[in-house]
Each structure stands twice: as structure tokens, then as C-alpha cells.
Amino acid sequence: MIVITIYGKNTFEISDIVNSLKNKGLQVGKDFDFAFSTGRFDWNERKQIPSQTVFSFYNEKEGTWFALKWM
């Protein structure tokens, strides 16, 4: 398994990425999973935390391809 985190993308951009993976023939829950969390402000640290999406690929080859294309 390979895990890749993408920072600063909004929900529309993540939807485009997921759709491109589906168009490539990959299936959510079988070939990859993803989890999106919105950005926020950390009042204790006094800094903005960007949105992030964690993609998990069950095949390292697909994960490597994804990292090269989207990062």
C-alpha cells in the first residue's frame, strides 16, 4: 500500500482527480480510497491549516503513477 497526501485542493479539484482515476478504470474501495478534510485555522498555533486529501493505493504501481501525475 502507498499513501499520498495532497494539500490545498478544494472539493471540485479532488472530484476531478477522483473522476480521472475512475476513467482510468480504478475503483474506489478496491484499487484506492481517499479521505478529504477541509482547511481550518488552528487557534492554539495561530496558523492556517490547509485542506488535505489522503489517497491510499493498494497497488504501488498505481500509487507511484498518481504521485508523479498529481504532485
Model pLDDT for residues 44-55, shown as the tens digit of each residue: 989 999 999 999
How does DSSP classify residue 58?
Answer: S
In 3-state terms the chain splits into helix, strand, coil percentages (rounded to 5) of 35, 35, 30
**pTM for this prediction:** 0.87
Domain around 62: 2-70
pLDDT in tens, 7-34: 999 999 999 999 999 999 999 999 999 9
Give the whole-angstrom CA distance, residue 18 versus residue 71: 14
- 70 pLDDT tier (thresholds 50, 70, 90): confident
